[in-house]
Amino acid sequence: MDGEQFRAASRQMTDYIADYLTNIRERRVLPEVEPGYLRPLLPAQAPDTPDEWSDVMADIERVIMPGVTHWHSPHFHAYFPTGNSYPAILADMLSDAIGCIGFTWISSPACTELEVVMLDWLGQLLDLPSQFLAASGGKGGGVIQGTASEATLVAMLSAKTKMLKQVKKDKPYMADNAAAALVGYGSDQAHSSVERAGMMAGVKMRQVASDDNFAMRGPQLREAILKDKALGLIPFFVVGTMGATPACSFDNLREIGEVAQEFGLWCHVDAAYAGSAMVCEEFRYLMDGVELADSFNFNPHKWLLVNFDCSAMWIKDASEVVEAFNVDPLYLKHEQQGQVPDYRHWQIPLGRRFRSLKLWFVMRLYGKHGLQAHIRKQVDLAHQFETRVKKDPRFEIIAPVTLGLVCFRLKRSNEVNETLLKNLNAGGVIHLVPAKIKDTYFLRFAVCSRLTEPQDVDEAWQEVLKQTDLLLQEI
């Protein structure tokens, strides 16, 4: 395919994309295919000679679309949102065309430098403490990670290196066995990636019991740390969550941060979903105490209209990350080392795309007010759904509706609620996923698509009512 053929093909793809997103409401949100549906639709091997472009385009509807779960459908209410916007798509086109690998400054200065500045812009939009920003001229700075899972792992590995160095200095007799004695903490509401990071980093992780609002609190963390210290273990790391996946609950960052400082733990804040809401002043009380954290992460690719992947992470003292796994072969050295970040030291992989273009395009083409309006509208839609649930005495809300998630259930057994969820998803009108806290199974209604309107929320509730009536008639 040459440049002229690309011009024509890209126009076709552009129209396909605009049509797809404009009319996405008409598609069944959850596909009806069975596992293994796709293989019989394709040849057993790649063609020897090129296929026609028109055949490739036609195969999108024939092969792919029947098996797509439409995350940007206004009927999609599962998990948490993932970002999608026209500015982000345009930025990714440019990123693909430039196609640079930004592992060092010299490998594409614009790739590194735009990222430094965009993480400052973004941090300012959230009103993050200035120590996190490169613009402050201190040791802090931001970086784009692929996912919140990777940000947690990077923070954990940095904390591990820092603590092992400390032990070696303070208690050299313990140094040999220190790694096996490290222990980290997260709430019982923390994302599964926190436990998983512990498995990857080879350290023990404890789940601290959350309180009645599903929040991890200082005294419980303190107690867990003291218990482990009495066993001869070395507490080194804690994750505080803002907007935990099961019920969008918030740990008490101030209490956790104070305990972390008391015992010398690295405090990482995982605000994967809820961080985006900090562009609105009225939600910033939820991050009270964030200035006590060592690192902070949230996913613009979740709720801030940026396409996956773009997980923004700030570190108060970036040198502690850089030193954690710094390997420096000659073929990656360059003359400007030290003057600018070499982001390869800040992340798990070596290679990296030009992802800050997405942040730049989205922040410029929405503006601060546009991003705030998006968040506020989606929170309003969640409250509209909440209001409907509360009016029906057969249902209960099981957690405060703070942002865009409504956790609800029939006042019946877990099994009845499981059947309701199964029937809702089988109905094909809306898509939800469940969660369970302290043995209570519930349904999660997340406002996800940027295309969701009040009428969609109303239709979703009508579908819940319809499936509920059918179910309760049967049992």
Q: Which residues are catalytic?
A: 191
- The amino acid at residue 111 is C
Contact 295, 150 (CB under 8 A): no
- What is the C-alpha to C-alpha distance for residues 109 and 304, in angstroms, rounded to an integer? 26
Residue 408: Cβ-neighbour burial (10 angstroms; 0-12, 13-18, 19+): buried
In the complex, least distance from residue 391 CB atom to its own copies, rounded to whole angstroms: 26
In the complex, least distance from residue 107 CB atom to its own copies, rounded to whole angstroms: 6
Which window, 142-150, 219-227, 235-243, 262-270, contacts its own copies (CB under 8 A)?
Answer: 142-150
Determine, following the binding rule CB under 8 A, whether residue 61 of this chain makes contact with its own copies: no
**Which distant-in-sequence residues (6+ apart) come within 8 Å of 154 by Cβ?**
145, 313, 321, 324, 346, 347, 348
Q: Out of 167, 363, 429, 430, point to the residue binding its own copies (CB under 8 A).
A: 363
- What is the C-alpha to C-alpha distance for residues 187 and 253, in angstroms, rounded to an integer? 12
Q: Out of 127, 282, 328, 380, point to the residue binding its own copies (CB under 8 A).
A: 328
Contact 239, 152 (CB under 8 A): yes
Determine, following the binding rule CB under 8 A, whether residue 319 of this chain makes contact with its own copies: no
Nearer CB in complex with its own copies: 219/367: 367
Which window, 252-260, 312-320, 427-435, 459-467, contacts its own copies (CB under 8 A)?
Answer: 427-435
Site for its own copies in 167-196 (CB under 8 A): 176-177, 179-180, 192-193, 195-196
> Which residue matches tokens 């092992």?
164
Nearer CB in complex with its own copies: 264/367: 367
Determine, following the binding rule CB under 8 A, whether residue 60 of this chain makes contact with its own copies: yes
Q: Out of 208, 357, 405, 410, point to the residue binding its own copies (CB under 8 A).
A: 357
Q: Out of 230, 231, 285, 331, point to the residue binding its own copies (CB under 8 A).
A: 331
Q: Out of 27, 28, 130, 135, point to the residue binding its own copies (CB under 8 A).
A: 135
In the complex, least distance from residue 82 CB atom to its own copies, rounded to whole angstroms: 5
Nearer CB in complex with its own copies: 166/222: 166
Contact 158, 324 (CB under 8 A): yes
Q: Out of 51, 380, 415, 469, point to the residue binding its own copies (CB under 8 A).
A: 51
Q: Out of 25, 72, 77, 268, point to the residue binding its own copies (CB under 8 A).
A: 72
- What is the C-alpha to C-alpha distance for residues 184 and 195, in angstroms, rounded to an integer? 9
x-or-dash string of contact with its own copies, 264-303, rule CB under 8 A: -------------------------------------x--
Determine, following the binding rule CB under 8 A, whether residue 263 of this chain makes contact with its own copies: no
> Which residue matches tokens 């098996």?
67
Q: Out of 90, 175, 322, 397, point to the residue binding its own copies (CB under 8 A).
A: 90
CA nearest neighbour of 310 among 191, 142, 186, 445: 142
Nearer CB in complex with its own copies: 271/292: 271
- What is the C-alpha to C-alpha distance for residues 276 and 280, in angstroms, rounded to an integer? 9
In the complex, least distance from residue 259 CB atom to its own copies, rounded to whole angstroms: 25
Peptide bond into 309 cis (omega under 30): yes
Q: Out of 29, 74, 75, 82, point to the residue binding its own copies (CB under 8 A).
A: 82
Q: Out of 53, 175, 396, 459, point to the residue binding its own copies (CB under 8 A).
A: 53
Determine, following the binding rule CB under 8 A, whether residue 409 of this chain makes contact with its own copies: no
Backbone angles phi, psi at 446, to 5 degrees: -105, 135
CA nearest neighbour of 85 among 395, 374, 339, 347: 374
- What is the C-alpha to C-alpha distance for residues 296 and 283, in angstroms, rounded to an integer? 16
Query: How are the residues of the chain apportioned to helix, strand and coil, as percentages rounded to the nearest 5?
Result: 50, 15, 35
Determine, following the binding rule CB under 8 A, whether residue 155 of this chain makes contact with its own copies: no
Which window, 54-62, 214-222, 289-297, 388-396, contacts its own copies (CB under 8 A)?
Answer: 54-62
- The amino acid at residue 175 is A
Find the largest Cα–Cα distance for the chain: 74
Q: Out of 74, 129, 142, 146, point to the residue binding its own copies (CB under 8 A).
A: 146
In the complex, least distance from residue 16 CB atom to its own copies, rounded to whole angstroms: 8
In the complex, least distance from residue 443 CB atom to its own copies, rounded to whole angstroms: 11
Transcribe 224-292 into DSSP letters. HHHHHHHTT-EEEEEEEEBS-TTT--B--HHHHHHHHHHHT-EEEEE-TTGGGGGGSGGGGGGGTTGGG
* Residue burial 368-406, b: 16+ Cβ < 10 Å; e: rest: eeebbebbeebbebbebbbebbeeeeebeebbebbbbbb
User: How many other CB atoms are there within 10 angstroms of residue 263's CB atom?
Assistant: 16
Q: Out of 150, 270, 342, 456, point to the residue binding its own copies (CB under 8 A).
A: 150
Determine, following the binding rule CB under 8 A, whether residue 29 of this chain makes contact with its own copies: no
Determine, following the binding rule CB under 8 A, whether residue 17 of this chain makes contact with its own copies: yes
Which window, 197-205, 212-220, 402-410, 463-471, contacts its own copies (CB under 8 A)?
Answer: 197-205
Site for its own copies in 219-248 (CB under 8 A): 245-246
Number of residues that bind its own copies (CB under 8 A): 145
